[in-house]
Structure 1
Amino acid sequence: MSKIIRIGTRDSELALWQATTVQNKLEALGHDTTLVPLKSTGDQVLDKPLYELGITGIFTKTLDIALLKDQIDIAVHSMKDVPTQLPKGIVRAAVLDRAIAHDVLVHKGLDFLESGQVATIATGSLRRKAQWLHKYPNHKIVNLRGNVNTRLLKVIENDWQGAIFAQAGLERIKLLPKDVLVLDWMIPAPAQGAMMVVAKEEDITLAKVLAKLNHRETEIATSIERLFLRTLEGGCTAPIGALAQIMDQNVHFQGALFSLDGKQKIEVKKEIPLSKTEGFGEVCAQEVLNSGGDKLMQEIRNENSALH
């Protein structure tokens, strides 16, 4: 390509790391690029939990608009922030090789887990909140918002026992404490740890360039997880975890829907050959819905509408 590729990104340290990673890959292929940092609505409204804002794509909408207005050529997102339905005219152009998908607990000592004392854990995520309360029903959850750096600072400043973060985010900007507790029992957000590049559907030349950055296995796994989410969600914010892992030409899938208070959990675990993944995420979601998930989703919708 002869023109300079304008890369849209949020302006947080983590988002800039992700955009710079894409920039380096494109420049290694011989393309000229420039970063265009923008501030999203999700980065500006920090006094409410994300689920109370009720806006799908709160971290991606600003970049989508810039893309459609031709202010940028591509946008780089944390894939877990991207709505399962992309705006008209915007397409997924590449999914990069995924990092570790697990969540971790940043803490000030783990004695509270042994003693059974009432602890306060911070997170702005419905999914993390529900899963933590499912395992530790006597604990208290407080809201935590802001970029990674801000959230880490708040853990130090407050008398909480810990806060939950995505391991990949902390590792990418070299802020992962040595003594974090890896929460391997917590099912991650669909597509957690993966990065997505989006572009305008009409830009065929750019699509060919970006296709060279695509990691096929990550694309397959995250597509399954996002289809699971999309089938369950129906446009409603809910505590949903999903993880597809490819091993020995098979896909191992684990997904779950939780009630908002964490008391109910409807889980599915399935394995399928890699050659037969078409519609697999939907099949897994239907299993959850048929096991009481449809009723639980309705309860969550009712609770969410009461919040808004």
Structure 2
Amino acid sequence: MRQKITVGSRDSALALWQTRWVVEQLQKQNPQVSFEIVEMKTKGDKMLDVALAKIGDKGLFTKELEVAMLEGKIDFAVHSLKDMPTQLPEGLMIGAVCKREKPGDALIAKDGKKLSQLPRGARIGTSSLRRCAQLLHYRPDFQLEALRGNLNTRLKKLAAEKLDAVVLAAAGIIRMGWEDMIAEIIPFDICLPAVGQGAIAVECREDDAEVLTLLQGVEHPDTRTATDAERSLLRYLEGGCQVPIGAYGRVERDRLYLQAVVATLDGRQVLRAQGESTLNRAGDLGVEVAEKLLSMGGKKILETVRAGD
């Protein structure tokens, strides 16, 4: 094993927390190796005045790190799995998927109100079409406001822009130690999370055997299996930031369960499907649940959403 490993990370507080956590676990297991973290800004970090859906989703938060990896400037990169496209650049792979934190969406509201307690016409900040569609299905009176920026920025906007609430990934809030700010983890029957939400992924070069061996120290098989099913579904539906798709896979007693949602942008139509399989059929299960959604009317919804891009 080489003595020095260079690790790439976005420069946001949450991204650095995740990268340092991965490095800390690997350092404990490999005390003879020194790790250096290289911070980078991605396209998604720079274009904060444009809605995610308008920019496109292909490597928005990963591309610069991937280029650095392919050029040999860094050995691996740490990402939020939900930011990773389902098709990776040639020569790169997900070397490890770490144990998942709570995958759901968190409501942070003035006075600690829950979703059902928010006033009629409440203004809610979120950057996600997936969240918007499902929240509007639950409460068509909600006013959804575009919200971009890192966690700190989005939380500040709750007060600065006189919003009633913001909705963010619970995992990030918990990892930053701000769990007491959460009014409610939104139930899955109201809002399914983004594919991969709550999981940390480590991307590396396919031909780097040393790093691949090293990364096995942070691999969590159940999280890998569950998120493989989710990513298979997303790949089959060819959805990204521009399409309201949610999914959640879980492993229980050697069985894999997957539920997923496809919705119209206005939330008037929300289709849900689910399935289960053995653990070794994660990819197949993703395709099966995706096909169910398409046959229920999901094909027409996705075509309509894409036509409006």
TM-score (norm 1): 0.94
Change (3 A) 1:36 1:116: closer
Q: For 1:267, give the aligned amino acid.
A: R
Measured against aligned partners, the alpha-carbon deviations of 1:102-159 in whole angstroms (never above 9, x if no partner) come to: 1011000338844752111100111111111111111111100000011111112121
Cα distance in structure 1, aligned partners of 2:105 and 2:244? 15
> 269-278 or 215-224: which moved more?
269-278
Aligned ranges 1:120-199 → 2 under 5 Å: 120-184=123-187, 185-199=190-204
1:117 matched to 2:133? The reply is no
TM-aligned CA deviation for residue 234 of structure 1:
5.5
The 1-side partners of 2:8 and 2:84 are apart by 14
Deviation at 1:71, TM superposition (A): 1.2
How far apart, in 2, do the equivalents of 1:79 and 1:269 lie?
21
Question: 1:181 and 1:234, CA in 2 relative to 1: closer, same or farther beyond 3 A?
Answer: closer
Between the aligned partners of 2:150 and 2:277, the Cα distance in structure 1 is 37
Once residues 183 and 10 of structure 1 are traced to their aligned partners in structure 2, the CA distance between those partners, rounded to angstroms, is 27
Equivalences for 1:1-308 in 2 at 5 Å? 1-30=1-30, 31-109=33-111, 110=113, 113-114=116-117, 117-184=120-187, 185-233=190-238, 237-304=242-309
RMSD, matched Cα: 1.6
Structure 1 residues 227 and 138, CA, compared in 2 at 3 Å: closer, same or farther? Answer: same
Write out per-residue CA displacement over residues 178-225 of structure 1, whole angstroms, 9 at most, x where no aligned residue: 452210131010110000001111212211111232111000000000
Deviations 1:214-265 (A, max 9, x none): 1110000000001111111256730100001111222221101011111111
Against the structure 1 CA distance between its residues 294 and 148, is the aligned structure 2 distance closer, same or farther, given a 3 Å change threshold? same
The 3-state SS of whatever aligns with 1:87 is: coil
The change in CA–CA distance for 1:91 and 1:129 in structure 2 (over 3 A counts) is same
The answer to whether the Cα contact below 8 Å between 1:112 and 1:119 also exists between their aligned partners in 2 is no
Distance 1:4 1:112 in 2: 48
- Matched length: 304
List structure 1 runs of 4+ shifted beyond 4 angstroms: none
Q: Mark the runs of 5 or more structure 2 residues left unpaired by the alignment.
A: none
CA distance in 2, matches of 1:303, 1:113: 31
- How far does residue 272 in structure 1 lie from its aligned partner after superposition? 2.4
Native 8 Å contact 1:222 1:244 kept in 2:
yes
Q: Which letter maps to 1:35?
A: I
SS at 2:49 equivalent: coil
2:107–2:115 CA contact under 8 A, matched in 1: no
Distance in structure 2 (CA, Å) of the matches to 1:115 and 1:81: 30
For 2:300 and 2:125, the matched residues in 1 are separated by 28
Give the letter for the 2:156 counterpart: L
Structure 1 residue 275: deviation in Å? 4.6
Conserved? CA contact 1:67–1:199, under 8 Å: yes
1:66-92 Cα offsets, whole Å, 9 max, x none, are 111111110000000000001111111
Describe the SS at the equivalent of 1:28: helix
- CA distance, structure 2, for counterparts of residue 219 and residue 291 of structure 1: 28
Name structure 1 gaps, 5 residues minimum.
Answer: none
Secondary structure of 1:186's partner? coil
Q: Which amino acid aligns with 1:200?
A: R
The alignment-based identity, stated in percent, is: 37
